[in-house]
Homo-oligomer: A and B are copies of this chain.
Amino acid sequence: MLSKELVAASTVPLVLSVLTEGENYGYALIQRVVELSDGKIAWTEGMLYPVLHWMEEQKMLESEWKTEGGRKRKYYRLRQEGRKALAQERQQWMTVHSTLTKLWKTKNALT
């Protein structure tokens, strides 16, 4: 179970990153992240959809409705702005990560 702060911080970068694999729709994004994280990251729909809408508003994503076998799905695709945002998010993430790992390197009695 992740802290809500960490969930908040990782949602946008994760969505952007998953979409580099190709366009995908909300419900499937949730499942893909569960899969990649070994069940440890389990988003609720109620938190994801608003984020997706916001990201589209920010021009990071574009969406398109498709119907397959009677099922209506809203597919999201990365836009240029989204790729730029991902590069930034990634850099920010690595900044924090390297700061943390510097401190973790010094052996302390932790697992």
Contact = CB atoms under 8 A, between A and B. Distances in A.
Contacts of A3: 9, 89, 92
A47 interface: no
A5 B8 contact: yes
B99 A36 contact: yes
The size bracket of the interface on A is: 35 or more
A67 interface: no
Prevailing SS type, chain A contact patch: helix
Contact of A37 (B17, B93, B95): B95
A96 to B, nearest CB: 5
Contacts of A36: 99, 102-103
A102 B95 CA distance: 18
A83 B110 contact: yes
A13 interface: yes
A8 B91 CA distance: 17
A44 interface: no
Chain B CB within 10 Å, residue with most, of A20, A93, A109: A93
